[in-house]
Amino acid sequence: MTTTFNHDTSANYDVNRPKNNSNSQDESSVQLISYTTKPNKSPVTKRNGAVNSEYGSPAEKERFISMNSTPVKLDPGLDSLDRTVEFTNIEKQPLDQPPHDRYRMVFFIFLIHGIGILMPWNMFITAKKYFEDYKLNTPTSQDATYRSEFMFYLGIVSQVSNAVISCVNTFFQFGGQASTRRIAIALFMMVVIFIVTVILAMIDTSNIPLMFFVLTMVSASLLNCCAGVYQNSTFGLAAILPMKYTNAIVLGTNLSGVFTSVISVISIAAAPNPRTSAVYYFIVAIVVLLLAFDCYFLLPLTKYYQYYQKSVHGSQPVEEKKMACGDYLRAFIDSCKTYWVVIKKIKLQLFGVWCTFCVSLILFPAIQSNVLMVRETFANENGTETLRTVTFSEDFEKKGYWTTIFTFLSFNLFAFLGNLTSEWIKWPGPRRVWIPIVLRAVILIPIYVFCNYQPFGVARRFPVYIPNDVVFILAGIIMAFTSGYYSSLTMMYGPKEVEPAMMGRAGMMMAFFLVLGITSGVNLSLVLQRLVTTQIEA
């Protein structure tokens, strides 16, 4: 006997279930609770003659549903898998919830990169006595111009090379972001050049001082070409992150100077041979650059950096385009147009970072390292007069403590403290930050010139108007602190004044104007020396 069913069906769904943001399709948010049939009110006769509903009594049905109360989730491809919320959140995290920078790993990576960026420059200028008083202090080069003005030549060769290569690296960015491959190549080349510099330090060059000077200038030029690519690209990478990561690079640059200055003070206290001291300097630089090379490979693996990279560039990473030679001119024109849009939006910040570093490099290290301790004439008991130092002992200057502590260590330490201060105090804002930067230039440059600035081999055109060591030390502290503070503010403000897609370009443009300010300052420092001093007539 055939039994005929005449019924309708319905499915009960939980419509009050909150949506899970981790699911990517609408159907996955539907939760099936039960599926039942609604029989007719009339009883149905079974083959055994029993009269009952189709699937039993209501009480039996309720017990069946309560025993199977766990819902079944309909997920694409995993229909019967009951995944937890934690699993789905790990699989896909919404963009409005950035991951944590665990142990501040990304921050310290950029801090190490900042140390590596200025390591070549700091090592060369801190080894001033090694170059001027050891390698170039020979009978044939003792009175040579390239010895008396070594710091000026070193600054011009280094920073002009840095500026040129930074310009090329900035405007030839056809993918719209910094090239990470260029960072690796630049770091590798810097390590190789430092190894050559160590070899030159171990070779006796007393018979060829001019050739040593030329090789040193070539090494400094190549090092700073690589450093320009390294610095420019690193600021471009940090621009897509919050402001403190850009400041981490600036912190690292000044921490690099503190590090090398402390090593210099320790070397002087231990009184080693100047050549041995220089070799230690350069070997330490190699170790730091190798550490930065490791950090280059670590950064893309961090979830924190991956999150911001995807939020700016999309889910797919931006790759550099392969172009023929004829396409470069067109791409360069398009890149310049894009940068012009960026320049108009951050012109005040660009001027601020240029002026800050220009003034700093006018005064440091060429002018500041040639400010000598003040000496006054004292009458002896026998009626004769003698010239003695006022603040510190004569040996304090002769052994190099005066220049090392109150030029290199003082500048880098207080610039570092200025960087740290900008983490908590950000005043003035991006529209008015240029005002104190200009006042800083107007006040500090005359103070330095009026102090006891006495480069050897030349004479001052006018007398010393500030014969006081304490004033010079305080002026150096103020100059260094404001250099670190305003450089951090301008570098942090710049990328945040443009759209997220333009942050990388803005960061690279800020880095380019930073290098441009350094180059301008180094050249203007030589001009200032010519205005203040005159050659001694034989």
Residues 188 and 51 in one domain: no
Q: Is the pLDDT of residue 345 over 50?
A: yes
Residue 35: inside a domain, yes or no? yes
Q: Given pLDDT bands bounded at 50, 70 and 90, which one contains residue 31?
A: very low
* Pairing state between β 51-52 and 72-73: unpaired
Stronger pLDDT, 265 or 100, i.e. the higher one? 100
Tell me the per-residue pLDDT of 247-293, one tens digit each, with 9 for 90 and over: 899 899 888 888 888 877 877 777 567 777 778 778 888 999 999 99
**Residue 238: half-sphere exposure toward Cβ, Cα within 13 Å:** 32
Separation between Cα atoms, residue 340 and residue 29, nearest integer Å: 47
Separation between Cα atoms, residue 132 and residue 146, nearest integer Å: 9
In this prediction, residues 20-46 reach a mean pLDDT of 44
Worst-scoring range by mean pLDDT, 4-18, 103-117, 464-478? 4-18
Q: Pseudo-torsion of CA 186, 414, 447, 431, nearest 10°?
A: 80
Per cent of the chain over pLDDT 70 is 77
CATH of the domain at 422: 1.20.1250
Whole-number mean pLDDT of the chain?
Answer: 79
Residues 309 and 347 in one domain: yes
Q: For the range 390-399, what are the long-range contacts, defined as Cβ-Cβ under 8 Å and sequence gap of 24 or more? A: 390/469, 391/469, 391/470, 392/469, 397/372, 397/373, 399/268
Q: Is the pLDDT of residue 237 over 60?
A: yes
Residue 308: inside a domain, yes or no? yes
- Domain with 368, as residue range(s), is 102-535
Q: Is the pLDDT of residue 2 over 60?
A: no
At 40 the three-state DSSP class reads: coil
Which of 58, 84, 110 marks a domain boundary? Answer: 84
Residues 78 and 107 in one domain: no
Residues 6+ apart with CB under 8 A from 344: none
Q: Is the pLDDT of residue 72 over 50?
A: no
In this prediction, residues 120-134 reach a mean pLDDT of 84
Q: Is the pLDDT of residue 317 over 90?
A: no
In this prediction, residues 94-98 reach a mean pLDDT of 62
For residue 344, the model assigns a pLDDT of 92
Which of 84, 116, 147 marks a domain boundary? Answer: 84
| Chain centre distance of CA 400 | 31
Residue 90: inside a domain, yes or no? no
Residues 51 and 129 in one domain: no
Number of structural domains found in the chain: 2
In this prediction, residues 148-174 reach a mean pLDDT of 82
| Chain centre distance of CA 279 | 27
Separation between Cα atoms, residue 517 and residue 364, nearest integer Å: 13
For residue 309, the model assigns a pLDDT of 84
Residues 170 and 40 in one domain: no
Q: Is the pLDDT of residue 191 over 70?
A: yes
Residue 94: inside a domain, yes or no? no
Q: Given pLDDT bands bounded at 50, 70 and 90, which one contains residue 60?
A: low
Tell me the per-residue pLDDT of 425-434, one tens digit each, with 9 for 90 and over: 999 999 999 9
Worst-scoring range by mean pLDDT, 111-125, 230-244, 254-268, 365-379? 254-268
Residues 377 and 486 in one domain: yes
Worst-scoring range by mean pLDDT, 193-207, 210-224, 368-382? 368-382
Which of 17, 50, 84 marks a domain boundary? Answer: 84
Residue 459: inside a domain, yes or no? yes
Q: Given pLDDT bands bounded at 50, 70 and 90, which one contains residue 324?
A: low
Residues 6+ apart with CB under 8 A from 252: 110, 111, 112, 113, 114, 115, 116, 117, 118
Stronger pLDDT, 122 or 179, i.e. the higher one? 122
Phi/psi of residue 275, nearest 5 degrees: -65, -45
Per cent of the chain over pLDDT 90 is 36
In 127-242, alpha helices (H): 128-129, 145-148, 150-171, 180-202, 209-238
Closest CA relative to residue 160, chosen from 220, 212, 233, 235: 220
Residues 393 and 515 in one domain: yes
For residue 455, the model assigns a pLDDT of 85
Residue 155: inside a domain, yes or no? yes
Residues 6+ apart with CB under 8 A from 327: none
Separation between Cα atoms, residue 202 and residue 207, nearest integer Å: 14
Tokens of 136: 């170039």
Worst-scoring range by mean pLDDT, 156-160, 222-226, 310-314, 517-521? 310-314
Worst-scoring range by mean pLDDT, 38-42, 176-180, 499-503? 38-42
Stronger pLDDT, 299 or 278, i.e. the higher one? 299
Residues 6+ apart with CB under 8 A from 530: none
Residues 54 and 148 in one domain: no
Residues 125 and 260 in one domain: yes
Residue 215: inside a domain, yes or no? yes
Residues 333 and 472 in one domain: yes
Worst-scoring range by mean pLDDT, 242-256, 317-331, 353-367, 502-516? 317-331
Look up the pTM and report it.
0.69
Q: Which of 78-82, 224-228, 272-276 has the highest mean pLDDT?
A: 224-228
Closest CA relative to residue 150, chosen from 530, 528, 526, 538: 526
Residue 3: inside a domain, yes or no? no
Stronger pLDDT, 322 or 435, i.e. the higher one? 435
Tokens of 286: 């190699």
For residue 449, the model assigns a pLDDT of 94
Residues 180 and 278 in one domain: yes
Residues 261 and 168 in one domain: yes
Tokens of 432: 């008015």
